Chains A and B, each alone.
Chain A
Amino acid sequence: MRIAIRNGRVIDPASGHDAIADLFIADGRIAAIGAEPPGFKADRTIDAHGLIVAPGLVDLCARMREPGAEGALKVEMRAALAGGVTGVVCPPDTDPPLDEPGLVRMLRQRSREAAGARLYPLGALTAGLAGEALAEIETLHEVGCVAFMHTRALPHDNSVLLQAMRYAKTFDLPLWLRPVEDTLAGSGVAAAGPVAGRLGLPSVPVAAETVALHTVFELQRAAGNPRVHLARLSSAAGVELVRRAKRDGLPVTADVGIHHVHLIDVDIGYFDSNYRLDPPLRSQRDRDAIVAGLADGTIDAICSDHTPVGEDDKLLPFGEAAPGATALETLLPLVLKWAGRAKVPLVRALGKVTSDAARVLGEPTGRLAIGAKADIVMFDPSVPWRVVPEALVSDGKDTPFAGHELEGRARFTLVGGEVRFERR
């Protein structure tokens, strides 16, 4: 299908393009930006006046709940499209975990059938995510896993982590790690500090993140410098350690969850379990350091960390509630909100969820280039809308932004040149 998108403000972070221009799609790819190709007969013309035309968002972490909940993938994929997300990286902490090639094949097949966003599965680094034996990461890579992750915390046993790094380095496969030392994190549910102190909540000290980061960097050096991506930084001290590691030349990238760009521990208020997140929300100083880390490139990307939680699992006292929030549909407006507050030009801000995220992923996506697959989002950057949990597409309804008014919403989402989402 040939599509002409006219009069939109075309923003492509990868090339720095930010101007009103037309964009032409043919055979699922971008045929031209700007001048109409000679003889181009559009099957559909979309008037993008007032809209921004950008690469579809690449979300470095969104849980699709499959394997696990039958039929959930379709729903979460629709949520992704509604959020303008065309590429979703799903972590391996599914049920069962993604440590078997058969499961990965099945998941990719289901994803193709769902005709939603593109799926980039992360394979389990260890069998069963138990942190003891290696998973067959080379084979998993063969069937489509882009990288390998140990979720929630570092593997308990440092020797396992070191061997996993060496093995991954053999095949030049990247490791994604949550920089959390689990004995220090303990049963903490909130960040150590005055808020946890007042509320009497078991806390996670900053050392849980900094000790983990030190461990990762030392083992990286010992293992011949495999590529490591650090998932979900939360502290100022953590950001600074990553900054130094990059300066020292370690092949390291990092991301932050969108909620940690905006929220802090005080927002927990009266034990509101919508603010029960993992990693926990830290102080204003930490948030400021995260914003600075995004500005200077220490933090490469922002992800949604989309975690649909059953309502019953949130209607519990704070410490017992399941951590996480639904975030595919709030990612875009929250990125715009951060860009506005931090005075980051859109062409750079959007990079954190498009070209920079794609670079972390190592996939040719997240950009509007001639010949590239036409994965595109067209959004109204200033339309106000109220976050009504029941009206969200995702099965996950719990978000700290419930009832908030946000600005910016996807109007059209295209994957491979096909309009897969359209908001009236």
Chain B
Amino acid sequence: MRNPQLNSNGELHHLLTIEGLPRAIIERILTTADSFINVASREVKNVPLLRGTAVFNLFFEHSTRTRTTFEIAARRLSADVFNLDITRSSTSKGESLLDTINNLTAMQADMFVVRHATSGAPYLIAQHVAPHIHVINAGDGRHAHPTQGLLDMYTIRHYKREFANLRVAIVGDILHSRVARSDIHALTTLGVPEVRAVGPLTLLPSGLEEMGVRVCTRLEEGIKDADVIIMLRLQNERMRGALLPSAQEFFRNYGLTPDKLRLAKPDAIVMHPGPMNRGVEIDSHVADGAQSVILPQVTFGIAVRMAVLSIAASSQRMQ
């Protein structure tokens, strides 16, 4: 099955998921992001790479943080940015997903940055847009959040340099997390030898071992001697049914406190895609502590998104 993200030259035309993305493309994105980090620290923060390109932020699921960082990234590339907040209720009033896309295409969109509550939605869009249009997945259901995965990798590379010797633990509601899935694919593609998924059985999806992940149901086992700990938000709105008794019990068993953090390597870094639930998955002392790189993640996120947008935009038409 042809990878729907790559054009016939093997260039990145859409970014839908990290799964199946060649390592070389991931590395190129990270290297390109390096050059954009420097842009951010200049007086004039813009580069003209995407001048004249119309980027439409199509958010079917509410998000301020991700949308804002995409908007900043696109504007720093001198693109024209248009934000569309399509809430559930207006789509349920009748207009189908593809009708919305067709209407926007008619308004001369060049790039869609899409966030949707249903896994796979960006694939449907990518399948149906005109060949010159690029689709960037800003998060689809539980499936993928590739730019978050990439910025997490950028962060790890910044602090740890090499991937080849790392132990990385991902902790929390992995079942519902598109960030976790994207991180897992990125880490395994970049050659991280040990990726651990940590959480209660009710929050772990099937097939983790097939993805190259070691499953741990106790936090202590999961973060022992870890170099990187990625804490996930306990996503209340995604949980249905009797998955957990309470946030308090979750914090007792899986919350990252200073005590628990001592089980990891002394120079371990603590990451979180945000927004954080202090006192639920992470203790404030850890979130604000010396090992936390949560704020730098945000800064890196802008550079990584600039890299993704500029690389996708520079690829040839889809054949």
Contact = CB atoms under 8 A, between A and B. Distances in A.
Contact of A270 (B1, B118, B142): B1
Nearest to A271: B120
Interface in B1-52: 1, 4, 19
Given A193-B206, A194-B210, A198-B19, A320 B118 contact: yes
A315 B124 contact: yes
Contacts of A203: 206
Interface in B91-124: 96-98, 116, 118-121, 123-124
Contact of B97 (A197, A200, A316): A316
B4 A193 contact: no
A312 to B, nearest CB: 7
A414 to B, nearest CB: 41
Interface of B: 1, 4, 19, 96-98, 116, 118-121, 123-124, 128, 140-144, 178, 181, 205-208, 210-211, 240-241
Contacts of A318: 118-120
Interface in A286-336: 312, 315-320
B207 A193 contact: yes
Given A197-B206, A200-B178, A200-B181, 10 more contacts: A192-B206, A195-B207, A197-B211, A198-B210, A199-B119, A201-B120, A269-B1, A315-B96, A317-B120, A319-B118
Interface of B is mostly: loop
Report the contact-size class of chain A (Cβ under 8 Å from the partner). Answer: 20 to 34
Given A198-B181, A200-B142, A271-B119, A317 B206 contact: no
A312 B98 CA distance: 10
Nearest to A203: B206
A196 interface: yes
A398 to B, nearest CB: 14
A196 B98 contact: no
A270 B4 CA distance: 8
A199 B119 CA distance: 7
A194 B181 contact: no
Interface of A: 186-187, 192-201, 203, 269-271, 273, 312, 315-320
Contacts of B140: 200, 317
A317 B97 CA distance: 9
A186 B141 CA distance: 17
Contacts of B206: 192-194, 196-197, 203
Contacts of A198: 19, 181, 207, 210-211
Contacts of A200: 119, 140-144, 178, 181
Contacts of B178: 200
Given A200-B119, A203-B206, A270-B4, A317 B211 contact: no
A55 B207 CA distance: 45
Contacts of B181: 198, 200
A317 B119 contact: yes
Given A194-B206, A271-B120, A315 B98 contact: yes
A197 B185 CA distance: 12
Contacts of A317: 97, 116, 118-121, 123-124, 140-141
Contacts of B208: 197
Rank and list the top 9 A-B pairs by shortest CB-CB distance, nearest first. Answer: A194-B207, A271-B120, A200-B142, A197-B207, A200-B143, A317-B118, A197-B205, A317-B121, A200-B119
